[in-house]
Amino acid sequence: MKLSNYFLPVLKETPADAEIISHKFMLRAGMISQSSSGIYSWLPLGLRVLKKIENIVREEQNAAGVNEILMPTIQPADIWKESGRYDDYGKEMLRINDRQDREMLYGPTNEEQVADIFRRSIKSYKELPSLLYHIQWKFRDELRPRFGVMRGREFLMKDAYSFDLDEDTSRVSYNKFFVCYLKTFERLGLRAIPIAAETGPIGGDMSHEFVIISETGESDIFYDKRILDLLDVDQELDYTKDLRSIVSSYQALYAAADDKYSKDEFEKKVPIEFQNNSKGIEVGHIFNFSTKYSEPMKANVLNSNGKAVSVHMGSYGIGISRLVGAIIEASHDENGIIWPEAVAPFTVGLVNLKSRDTEAIAVCENIYNTLNQAGIEVLYDDKDDSPGAKFSRMDLIGLPKQIIFGNNSLKDQMIEIKDRKTSHTEKVKISDLAGKLITSK
Amino acid sequence: MKLSNYFLPVLKETPADAEIISHKFMLRAGMISQSSSGIYSWLPLGLRVLKKIENIVREEQNAAGVNEILMPTIQPADIWKESGRYDDYGKEMLRINDRQDREMLYGPTNEEQVADIFRRSIKSYKELPSLLYHIQWKFRDELRPRFGVMRGREFLMKDAYSFDLDEDTSRVSYNKFFVCYLKTFERLGLRAIPIAAETGPIGGDMSHEFVIISETGESDIFYDKRILDLLDVDQELDYTKDLRSIVSSYQALYAAADDKYSKDEFEKKVPIEFQNNSKGIEVGHIFNFSTKYSEPMKANVLNSNGKAVSVHMGSYGIGISRLVGAIIEASHDENGIIWPEAVAPFTVGLVNLKSRDTEAIAVCENIYNTLNQAGIEVLYDDKDDSPGAKFSRMDLIGLPKQIIFGNNSLKDQMIEIKDRKTSHTEKVKISDLAGKLITSK
Task: Extract the runs of DSSP E, i.e. beta strands, from B172-322.
Answer: 192-196, 207-213, 219-224, 255-257, 275-290, 300-302, 308-310, 312-319
pLDDT band at B258 (very low <50, low <70, confident <90, very high): confident
Domain B3-337: CATH architecture, name and number where available: 2-Layer Sandwich (3.30)
Q: Is B40 in the A-facing interface, judged by CB distances under 8 Å?
A: yes
Least confident of B1-10, B114-123, B192-201: B192-201
Write the pLDDT tens digit of every residue in B211-252.
998 887 888 999 999 998 887 656 778 999 999 999 999 999
Section A88-99 average pLDDT: 94
Q: Distance (Å) from the C-alpha of residue A343 to the closest C-alpha of chain B? A: 17
- Return d(Cα B324, Cα A289) in angstroms, integer: 36
- Residue A67 CA to residue A25 CA, distance in Å, equals 35
Answer whether B43 sits within 8 Å of A5, measured CB to CB.
no
pTM flag (> 0.80): yes
- Closest residue of chain A to B2, computed from CA coordinates: A65
B379 and B401 Cβ atoms separated by less than 8 Å: no
| Farthest CA pair distance, chain B | 83
Contacts of B112 in chain A (CB under 8 A): none
Chain B residues within an 8 Å CB radius of A71: 35, 41-42
Indicate the residue of A65, A99, A153 with minimum beta-carbon distance to B91: A99
Residue B88 one-letter amino acid: D
Across the interface, do A104 and B36 touch by the CB < 8 Å criterion? yes
From chain A, the residues in CB contact with B69 under 8 A are 7, 41-44, 47
Question: Which residue among A41, A120, A141 places its CB closest to the CB of B99?
Answer: A141
Helix residue ranges, H only, A12-133: 21-28, 44-63, 77-83, 85-88, 111-121
User: Is a pLDDT exceeding 60 seen at residue B268?
Assistant: yes
Distance CA B347, CA B139 (A): 32
Q: Which of A5, A96, A130 sits opposite B96 (nearest CB)?
A: A96
- Residue A30 and residue B94: Cβ atoms within 8 Å? no
- First vs last C-alpha separation in chain A: 19
Q: What is the rounded distance in angstroms from the CA atom of residue A64 to the CA atom of residue A127?
A: 17
With beta carbons less than 8 A apart as the criterion, state whether B383 and B1 touch: no
Question: B70 contacts in A (CB within 8 Å)?
Answer: 41-42, 47, 50
Q: Which residues, at least 6 apart from B406, have a Cβ–Cβ distance to it below 8 Å?
A: B353, B354, B415, B416
State the smallest CA–CA distance between residue B400 and chain A in angstroms. Answer: 22
Report chain B residues whose CB lies below 8 A from the CB of A98: 94, 141
Contact of B154 with chain A, judged by CB distance below 8 Å, is answered with: yes
The answer to whether B7 contacts A69, with C-beta atoms less than 8 Å apart, is yes
Q: Mind telling me how many Å the CA of B388 is from chain A's nearest CA?
A: 21
Chain A contact present for B98, CB below 8 A: yes
Fold assignment, B346-439: Rossmann fold (3.40.50)
CA A226 to chain CA centroid, nearest Å: 24
C-alpha dihedral over B293, B296, B299, B303, to 10 degrees? 110
Quick check: B99 and A41 CB within 8 A?
A: no
**C-beta separation of B414 from B430 below 8 A:** yes
Pairing of strands B32-36, B39-42: antiparallel
The ipTM of this complex is 0.96
Q: For chain B, say whether A97 makes contact (Cβ under 8 Å).
A: no
Task: Find the mean pLDDT for residues B10-18.
Answer: 86
Mean pLDDT of A97-101: 95
- Please give the average per-residue pLDDT across B142-169, as a whole number: 95
Contact A211, A285 (CB under 8 A): no
Q: What is the pLDDT of residue A7?
A: 98
Partners of residue A40 in chain B, C-beta under 8 Å? 72
Instruction: Give A65's contacts in chain B (Cβ within 8 Å).
Output: 5
Distance from C-alpha of B99 to C-alpha of A144, rounded to nearest angstrom: 11
Cβ–Cβ under 8 Å, residues A302 and A308 = yes
CA distance A241 to chain B (A): 16
Confidence of residue B316 (pLDDT cuts 50, 70, 90): very high
Beta strands in A26-178 (DSSP E): 32-36, 39-42, 67-68, 74-76, 94-97, 103-106, 130-139, 154-164
Q: CA of A97: which chain B residue's CA is closest?
A: B96
CB contact under 8 A, B40 and A69: no
- Angle at A439 (CA atoms; ends A438, A441), nearest 5 degrees: 65
pLDDT at position A311 is 98
Considering chain A, what is the average pLDDT of its residues?
Answer: 94
Which of A5, A35, A71 has its CB closest to that of B72?
A: A35
User: What amino acid occupies position B81?
Assistant: K
pLDDT (mean) for B173-177: 97
Sequence-separated (6 or more) residues with CB below 8 Å from residue A343: A49, A52, A53, A56, A188, A189, A327
- All residues of chain B having their beta carbon less than 8 Å from the beta carbon of residue A321 are none
Per-residue model confidence (pLDDT) at position A234:
61
* Nearest by Cα to B129 from A279, A7, A41, A173: A7
Nearest to B33 among A50, A73, A120 (CB): A120
3-state secondary structure labels for all residues of A266-315: HHHHCCHHHEEEEEEEEEEEEEEEECCCHHHHCCEEECCCCCEEECEEEE
Mean pLDDT, residues B346-371 taken together: 95
Report the pLDDT averaged over residues A170-183.
96
Helix (H, G, I), strand (E, B) or coil at A88: helix
> Which DSSP symbol is given to B197?
-
Residues carrying CATH 3.40.50.800, chain A: 346-439
Neighbours of A187 (CB within 10 A): 17
CB pairs under 8 A between A and B: 142
Are the C-beta atoms of residues B301 and B308 closer than 8 Å to each other? yes
pLDDT in tens, A37-80: 999 999 999 999 999 999 999 999 999 999 999 999 999 999 99
Strands A207-213 and A192-196: antiparallel
Strand partners, B212: B192, B281
Beta partners for residue B427, in sequence order? B416
Cβ pair B42:A70 closer than 8 A: yes
| pLDDT tens column, B367-418 | 999 999 999 999 999 999 999 999 999 999 999 999 999 999 999 999 999 9
A141 touches chain B (CB under 8 A): yes
Determine contact: A44 vs chain B, CB below 8 A.
yes
Tell me the C-alpha to C-alpha distance, in Å, between residue B363 and each of A289, B26, B367.
Answer: 41, 32, 6
Contacts of A141 in chain B (CB under 8 A): 98-99
For residue A84, give how far its alpha carbon lies from the nearest alpha carbon of chain B (Å): 18
Q: Is residue B146 very low, low, confident or very high in pLDDT (cuts 50, 70, 90)? A: confident
Q: Which of A312-321, A348-357, B372-381, B430-439 has the lowest mean pLDDT?
A: B430-439
CA distance B148 to B135: 20
Q: Which residues in chain A are closer than 8 Å to B65, comparing Cβ atoms? A: 5
Tell whether B43 is within 8 A of chain A (Cβ): yes
pLDDT digits (tens, 9 = 90+) for A379-421: 999 999 999 999 999 999 999 999 999 999 999 999 999 999 9
**How far away is chain B from the Cα of A236, in angstroms, using its nearest Cα?**
18
Whether A96 sits inside 8 A of B91 (CB atoms) is no
> Can you tell me the distance from the alpha carbon of B6 to that of A277, in angstroms, rounded to the nearest whole number?
43
Q: Rounded CA gap, B5 and B203, in Å?
A: 55
Name the pLDDT band for A82 (thresholds 50, 70, 90).
Answer: very high
Percentage of chain B beyond pLDDT 70 is: 99
Whether residue B144 lies within 8 A of chain A, CB to CB, comes out as no
- What helix, strand, coil percent values describe chain A, rounded to 5? 35, 30, 35
Cβ neighbours of B227 (radius 10 Å): 21
Domain with CATH 3.30.930.10 in chain B: 3-337
Residues of chain A numbered 7-36 and touching chain B (CB < 8 Å)? 7, 9, 30, 33, 35-36
∠ at Cα A254 (A251, A255), nearest 5°?
A: 95
What A415-422 contacts at long range (C-beta under 8 Å, 24+ apart), as own/partner pairs, is A415/A367, A420/A338, A420/A339, A420/A395, A421/A338
A152 contact B CB<8A: no
Distances (CA, A) of B147 to B19, B20, B22, B216: 6, 6, 8, 11
Interface test with B, best of A11, A26, A62, A121 (most B CBs within 10 A): A121
- Strands B401-405 and B348-352, by their bridges, are parallel
**Number of Cβ atoms within 10 Å of the Cβ of A362:** 11
